[in-house]
Amino acid sequence: MNVQLPGAHRYIGERTPRKEDARLLTGRGQFADDVRLAGMLHIAFARSPVARGTITAIDSAAAREVPGVHAIYTQADFSGVALNVMNFFFGPCEAPVTILADGRVSCVGDPVAMVIADSRAIAEDAAALIEIEIDEEDPVITLADARGGAPVHPGKDDNIAQEMGDEDIDEDLQALLDGAAHTITRTIHHQRIAQSPMETRGCVATCDGSEEMTIWISCQSPHLVARYVSLAFNLPETAIRVIAKDVGGGFGLKNFPWREEVAVIAAARLFGRPIKWIEDRFESLTASSHAREQEVTLTIGFDADGKMVGGFGDYSSNNGAFPMGEDCNVAVHMFMWPAYKMPAYGFVSRGWYSNTMGLGGYRGPWAMESLIRETLLDDAAREIGIDPIEIRRKNLIYLTDQPNTTTFGIEVTDITPGECFDKLLANFDVPAFRKEQAESREQGRYLGLGLAAYVEPTAAAGQMAPMTGELATIRIEPTGKVTASLSTHSQGHGTATTMAQVIAERLGVNFEDVTIFEGDSAIGGFSPGAAGSRQAVIAGGAAWTATDMLADKVKEIAAHLYNANAETITIEGGMVHIEGTPEMSHSLREIAEIAYGEPARLPGNTGAGLEAQFRYQPPPFTFTSAAHACVVEVDADTGFVKIQRWISSEDCGTVINPGVVEGQIAGGLAQAIGQVLLEDMPYDARGNPLAATFKDYLMPTISDVPDFEYVHANTPSQTIGGMRGVGEGGAIIGPPTLVNAIADALQPFGQIDLLELPLTPSRILDIVESRDVSGDAAKRAKTEAEAPAEEATAEVASSSGETSIDGAWNMTMKTPAGPQEMVGHFATDGGNVTGKFTSDQGDQEFEGTVEGSRVKFNLDVEQPMKITLKYDLLFEGDGVSGKAKMGMFGSAKTSGTRA
């Protein structure tokens, strides 16, 4: 036999070329727009040209006359379809969302009507003829507008879509800040981003009889789409098949189907023919969900040495009218500090509605945390008079500092931000750079070095409905080849390659002999796909264990068949070897043929076939750490930034394929560069999006992105296989690294006191020239002069007024999950209080203290998670108000009246 034994061939860690590429490089990919079905019709939407108003008439008579038009639907046509548009968590949207505008328009681009026609061109012809009359109202566009403006959604009190935390700094924290040797406050205004995957959204839906439906959709997980559609339409999921073989990038935008995709599916059901909608780029830029548009102000107190003593963050995001999930992005605060030693932190976080396109997901959704923290640290270092390296070394977490628990209660045991930072500096000669920088400045050339470090929570599982484990089903086919059905999905992630690497290595077969099937809800099992840097970790772990199970079965069978001890059997290069008897090698095919065809020859308790299946549920979070450095040159004449060098030092645990890992980092960094220097989706005062084409929305091109250098510090995680997620890191750490480099370069001219992104050449000249070149300062002055006064918020203060506390009170607690109604029973006895809350969740008893009319007590709850609520209530007359601190989730306002 002439079998080549590759030895213990390693695939994990190899730069293995991708399996996917063969089809994608030759034009044989299958994207949503490549799907053609008999009788398929096309859709165009007629959208609102104004940002806010009431629809008084929709006249589609002329549009119906266009030859080739089959139907025109408005929301009224869907009134008979019980449809529940949900958020990512399969929960209800706070402001109910209809697929088409229901009587009101709330942003420019709001879909009002849909045309079904023979071709997209005809559908557009007709859509252009639909006359929409709108009684226009003044829109609420900016965060400043939203704070004081009329509620976007009728019936709501204000524009707060969600709120967490507490705007009052607690006394202990205030004392820490007051006692700090240095207190630094910084503010960032982050622009709105259009996610802009190169493949826009798109969907083809067909009803196959009354009980089956097939959907091809550009998405991030066909399983999640199937589940979503099933729940949204209240259909049995088994009837729904979702296929997404190739998807041209998602980045969070395609986490789940949104209004238009759901409308297409609804239309296919209503009209009864296959329907296709492919979003065009104009729609993609102006009417796909956007991202970012946030403001944050962070204050940090430092001791004389530069160690942090406490901090407070105030964050807002402009959610738009119909966000894909009302969000105040508490994750910004949650993940602000795990990489650092921060003893005390308070925050308030608010998401605001406005008459702009709603926000959706985008790579590193909480990335603002690293941007504000890392830029503030650099400013603090300058103010305290220490090096930015030193301030980080004083405050970063190293392995020796762990286990450590953050103020948010997040425990870290194996993160390496400090180690990544040191490794980074070992690969970059900072003193040599500082020398070059000083010399260049003499010649009027302005170089800057930016450093930043962070940790990123990846592979979340088990805490939010869609964030689950992953399933791997692996077979050795009767041919001896290996196929795997996985719950994964790739929008460029290369899972068909990385998972094959894991399987080939663990099983001992050639990479070429492993085929991965994914991208179809009929294959694998539920998973949210590519969302939250999770697939390498979770699906990798699933494939790892399923393969090991399969290998064990092969060994057991071989031991039985060939009369050997299972311990002495190895599988290599697709051959089963028995130790010490090289002539006794058998191919997997030989064993597989027996396993499938002659199961009677198998050992007693082994079933027929060669298959194994494993669903891996990893720990709730797996952290990835990194530190980056970049060098820029700023042209002080033009305000242009040239990135000269960029080094990434990251720890993503076991690396399955460095080519794929580096690709993920690089893609995120390119998006970061776009965010800092180029991309911007501004709105004018009437709510018109101003970057409707790629001529105005500036995507980074090859000349904007330098060659990146990588240092891998691989500390295996505690998951099966030891992987850590790496999908979002570049987008998180890239912005502060670059901003810090630019700020460093600009030091001879001054500070960036208020960071407004993107840092356009005009804004850079603001610093260089110390004057308002960009016109931003004038704009801000104008906004401030016009801003309506903010509502005063109720404060909890001690009151000496005598109030009887004893008795029953009807109370409401405003939690992130919605208002919670309960009846509070209080009985005081001197300085003590006992009592209970009664609600539909049952009774909960408490004991606490009374001081005047102020009552404080703690309550341990189990649902929705284990948490201690710390109540602080003030009774006045027949009213009670105050709050309950909910650990990492901030505070919930609590109020009530005497029952």
Partner 1 sequence: MKPAPFDYVAPTSIDEALSALADAGGGATILAGGQTLMPLLNLRMSQPFIIIDINRIAELKGVTRASGGTRVGPVTRQADALADATLAQHVPVMVEALSHVGHYQTRNRGTVGGSVSLGEPAAEMPATAVALGATIEIRSSKGTRQVPADEFYLGPYMTVLEPDELVTGIIYPDWADGHVTLFREVAQRPGDFALVGMVGALELSGGTVSRSGIAWLGMGPTPIKARQAEAALLGKSLDAIDPLAIAELAVADTAPFDDHHASSEYRRTVGRRIFTRTLREALGLKEAA
Partner 2 sequence: MSDHRIELTVNGRKHGGTVEARTSLGEFLREQLGYTGTHLACEHGVCGACTVSVDGAVARSCLMLAVQADGSEVTTVEGLAEADGTLHPVQQAMRDNFGLQCGFCTPGIVITLASLTGEGKEPTEQEMIDAMSGHICRCTGYQGIRRAIRQLTSETA
- Which neighbouring-strand residues pair with 345? 311
By CB under 8 A, name the one of 199, 295, 369, 419 that touches partner 2: 199
Nearest distance from C-beta of residue 731 to partner 2, angstroms: 11
Query: Three-state SS for 476?
Result: strand
If one asks whether residue 5 binds ligand FES (CB under 6 A), the answer comes out as no
- Pattern of binders to ligand FES over 474-513, x per CB under 6 A? ------------------x---------------------
Site for ligand FES in 615-654 (CB under 6 A): none
Nearer to partner 1, 141 or 537 (CB): 141
Nearest distance from C-beta of residue 64 to partner 2, angstroms: 19
Query: Three-state SS for 460?
Result: coil
If one asks whether residue 687 binds ligand FES (CB under 6 A), the answer comes out as no
Q: Which of 436, 438, 342, 347 minimizes the C-alpha distance to 396?
A: 342
623 and 534 in contact (C-beta within 8 Å)? no
Nearer to ligand FES, 700 or 734 (CB): 700
Site for partner 2 in 46-85 (CB under 8 A): none
Q: Which of 693, 710, 700, 780 minimizes the C-alpha distance to 735?
A: 700
Torsion of CA 601, 607, 608, 610, to 10 degrees: -110
If residue 46 lies in a helix (H) or strand (E), which one and from where to where? Answer: strand 41-47
Q: Which residue is nearest to ligand FES (CB)?
A: 198
How far does the chain reach from its first CA to its final CA, in angstroms?
Answer: 89
Q: Which of 254, 274, 257, 258 minimizes the C-alpha distance to 208?
A: 274
Nearer to partner 1, 124 or 295 (CB): 124
Report how many helices (DSSP H) and strands (DSSP E) the chain contains, helices first. 20, 37
111 and 78 in contact (C-beta within 8 Å)? no
Say how far apart CA 848 and CA 854 lie, in whole Å. 11
Options 16-24, 160-168, 338-346, 761-769: segment touching partner 2 (CB under 8 A): 16-24
Say how far apart CA 195 and CA 651 lie, in whole Å. 26
Site size for ligand FES (CB under 6 A) = 4
Instruction: Indicate which of ligand FES, partner 2, partner 1, none lies near residue 671 (CB less than 5 to 8 Å, by partner kind).
Output: partner 2
Nearest distance from C-beta of residue 657 to partner 1, angstroms: 31
C-alpha distances in Å from residue 782, one per residue of 681, 786, 811: 21, 6, 42
The DSSP call for residue 140 is -
If one asks whether residue 11 binds partner 2 (CB under 8 A), the answer comes out as no
By CB under 6 A, name the one of 165, 249, 758, 835 that touches ligand FES: 249
C-alpha distances in Å from residue 744, one per residue of 200, 241, 450, 653: 38, 53, 7, 32
Nearer to partner 1, 305 or 637 (CB): 637
Nearest distance from C-beta of residue 360 to ligand FES, angstroms: 18
Nearer to partner 1, 24 or 678 (CB): 678
Options 450-458, 692-700, 757-765, 850-858: segment touching partner 2 (CB under 8 A): 692-700
Say how far apart CA 523 and CA 500 lie, in whole Å. 16
Site size for partner 2 (CB under 8 A) = 53
Say how far apart CA 556 and CA 558 lie, in whole Å. 6
Instruction: Indicate which of ligand FES, partner 2, partner 1, none lies near residue 247 (CB less than 5 to 8 Å, by partner kind).
Output: partner 2
Residue type, 614: F
Nearer to partner 2, 253 or 412 (CB): 253
Token pair 């959709």 in the structure block, residue: 217
If one asks whether residue 39 binds partner 2 (CB under 8 A), the answer comes out as no
Nearest distance from C-beta of residue 637 to partner 1, angstroms: 5
Nearer to partner 1, 405 or 701 (CB): 701
Token pair 């994207």 in the structure block, residue: 31
If one asks whether residue 17 binds partner 2 (CB under 8 A), the answer comes out as yes
667 and 252 in contact (C-beta within 8 Å)? no
Options 20-28, 81-89, 256-264, 718-726: segment touching partner 2 (CB under 8 A): 20-28
Instruction: Indicate which of ligand FES, partner 1, partner 2, none lies near residue 730 (CB less than 5 to 8 Å, by partner kind).
Output: partner 2
Token pair 């570049």 in the structure block, residue: 730
If one asks whether residue 668 binds ligand FES (CB under 6 A), the answer comes out as no
Token pair 């960071």 in the structure block, residue: 755
If one asks whether residue 28 binds partner 2 (CB under 8 A), the answer comes out as yes
Parallel, antiparallel or unpaired: strands 470-476 and 611-616: antiparallel
**CB crowding 601-616: b at 16 or more within 10 Å, else e:** ebeeeeeebbbbbbbb
Nearer to partner 2, 35 or 188 (CB): 35
Nearer to ligand FES, 198 or 827 (CB): 198
Radius of gyration of the chain (CA): 29
Instruction: Indicate which of partner 1, ligand FES, partner 2, none lies near residue 761 (CB less than 5 to 8 Å, by partner kind).
Output: partner 1
If one asks whether residue 281 binds partner 2 (CB under 8 A), the answer comes out as yes
Nearer to partner 2, 176 or 278 (CB): 278
If residue 590 lies in a helix (H) or strand (E), which one and from where to where? Answer: helix 588-597
If one asks whether residue 510 binds partner 2 (CB under 8 A), the answer comes out as no
Instruction: Name, in order, each residue with C-beta under 8 angstroms of 299's C-beta and a sequence gap of 6 or more.
Output: 177, 183, 184, 185, 311, 312, 313
Site for partner 2 in 693-722 (CB under 8 A): 693-695, 699, 701-703, 705, 707-708
By CB under 6 A, name the one of 128, 198, 465, 817 that touches ligand FES: 198
- Interface ranges with partner 1 (CB under 8 A): 119-121, 124-125, 128, 280-282, 637-640, 678, 680, 682, 690-691, 693, 695-696, 698, 701, 703-704, 760-762, 765, 769, 772-775
Residue 624 tokens read as: 């990835």
Query: Three-state SS for 676?
Result: helix
Instruction: Indicate which of partner 1, ligand FES, partner 2, none lies near residue 246 (CB less than 5 to 8 Å, by partner kind).
Output: partner 2
Nearer to ligand FES, 280 or 512 (CB): 280
Nearest distance from C-beta of residue 54 to partner 2, angstroms: 33
Contacts for 427-434: CB closer than 8 Å, 24+ residues apart? 427/647, 427/649, 427/709, 427/711, 428/629, 428/647, 430/389, 433/631
Instruction: Indicate which of partner 1, partner 2, ligand FES, none lies near residue 659 (CB less than 5 to 8 Å, by partner kind).
Output: partner 2
CB atoms within 10 A of CB 305: 12
Q: Give contact residues for ligand FES (rule: CB under 6 A).
A: 198, 248-249, 492
Binding region for partner 2 (CB under 8 A): 15, 17-18, 20-22, 24-29, 31, 33-34, 121, 196-200, 246-249, 251, 280-281, 491-494, 659-660, 662-663, 666-671, 693-695, 699, 701-703, 705, 707-708, 730
